[in-house]
A = this chain, B = another copy of it.
Amino acid sequence: MQKKIKPSNKIKKTGLAPGTLVFTGDQKVNRPQVTELIYNQNSIKESLISSKAPLTIHSPQTDFVTWYDIRGLHDLALIENFGKFFNIHYLVLEDIANTRQISKIEEYENGVFIVVNAITESTNESLITTEQIAIFVGDGFVLSFQEDEFDQFELLRKRLNDDKGKIRSKKAEYLAYSLLDMMVDKYIETINKIENDLYDLENEIIFNPVFRNKIKLYEYKHQLLIIRKAIYPLREALSRVMRVESVIFDNSIKLYLRDLYDHTHQVIDKADFLREIVTNLQETYSAELNNKTNHVIRVLTIISTIFIPLTFVVGLYGMNFKYMPELDWQYGYYYCLGFMGLLFICFLYYFKRKKWL
């Protein structure tokens, strides 16, 4: 197992007035990258805005979907610019900058604010790392904020450029749904991978339990806990969204959200199932280890029980007393050997009956 890098908690927020914008993550990108994408079924325009040049934000146009994807969150002024331009509540901006949020979906007057902890590419194989993705969907526009340099939505953007398929023909909220769907699919893929690995491990543990596997079990449980922690609040949020009336999410999109809800449900269901499997394996591993210890001690006891008394007997006749009649007997040695042989057989019989042999 590789050492884990602990998350930094540099900035202490306590003591500040509520509503102060503070970035609580690590600065993972040198300069934030903003990708602008304006499309409808017929045309699409993508522009990568360098953060150095003065930023020009375009208002959402009728019949077009405007998508701003911001990667890197330490440039608080940038976030505030978007906030002002799209008239976003200050609490939302605070939550975007504070990267330790749990997944949630919140309804505001002019849009829906979504926070998801998405799986990000990790250099460390044995640990799942998540980054916070914040999405704000308004009328005709979507803002997405990625904590990390790694672009979660690269494939989707490519596909949007390439074909005029389903997403291009739909509205901003369908784009938001597509982003969510992508991130949830990543979880499904990850948990299926864990499931496969676990099936291999299961065979290995039952037929050859070594300690290295115990560490692996520990890590799988850790990963499953991380997945559950990330997805559970999302499912709760989706369930709530499906129940309430919403300005942004109308009934046509709700059918898709129900599908998404099913997928999150599936992830949690499998995560819980696999955790039970891991617990079951851990208990079996422990029993197996105890069984082995019992076996080792039994070997020790058998050897000791047989030879310690015999060693006493040979020690007895190794004494140097002047008057030890047995020593002078002609067949004393053979009597002694015979006696010890008898003792040996008795012990064997005893252990046989006790089923230790």
Contact = CB atoms under 8 A, between A and B. Distances in A.
Interface of A: 1, 3-4, 6-7, 9, 12-19, 89, 91, 94-95, 100-102, 104, 106, 155-156, 159, 165-167, 177-178, 181-182, 185-186, 188-189, 192-193, 195-196, 199-200, 202-203, 206, 211, 214-215, 218, 221-222, 225, 229, 233, 255-256, 258-259, 262, 265-266, 269, 273, 276-277, 280-294, 296-301, 303-305, 307-312, 314-324, 326-333, 336, 356
Contacts of A320: 317-320, 324, 327
Contact of A319 (B259, B297, B333): B333
A186 B19 CA distance: 15
B18 A256 contact: yes
Contacts of A188: 13-14, 100
Contacts of A300: 297, 300-301, 304-305
14 contacts: A13-B188, A14-B188, A18-B259, A94-B259, A95-B259, A102-B265, A229-B269, A293-B297, A303-B309, A307-B308, A307-B311, A310-B312, A321-B336, A323-B331
A193 B9 contact: yes
Contact of A17 (B14, B19, B166, B285): B166
B297 A301 contact: yes
Q: In the A-B complex, list the 10 residue pairs whose CB atoms are closest, starting with the nearest.
A: A314-B315, A6-B199, A317-B319, A300-B301, A321-B333, A15-B155, A318-B318, A18-B181, A14-B185, A307-B308
B14 A225 contact: no
B315 A323 contact: no
Contacts of A284: 214-215, 218
Contacts of A214: 284, 287-288, 291
Main secondary structure of the interface of A (DSSP, over half): helix
Contacts of A182: 14-15, 18
A155 to B, nearest CB: 4
Number of copies: 5
B315 A14 contact: no
Contact of A13 (B91, B185, B281, B312): B185
Contacts of A256: 18, 91
Contacts of A13: 185, 188-189
Given A311-B315, A319-B336, A186 B14 contact: yes
Contacts of A330: 322-323
Contacts of A200: 6
A316 B320 CA distance: 9
A195 B7 contact: yes
B292 A91 contact: no
A292 B294 contact: yes
Contacts of A186: 14
**Most chain B C-beta atoms within 10 Å of own C-beta, residue among A3, A13, A300:** A300
Contacts of A159: 17
Contacts of A177: 18
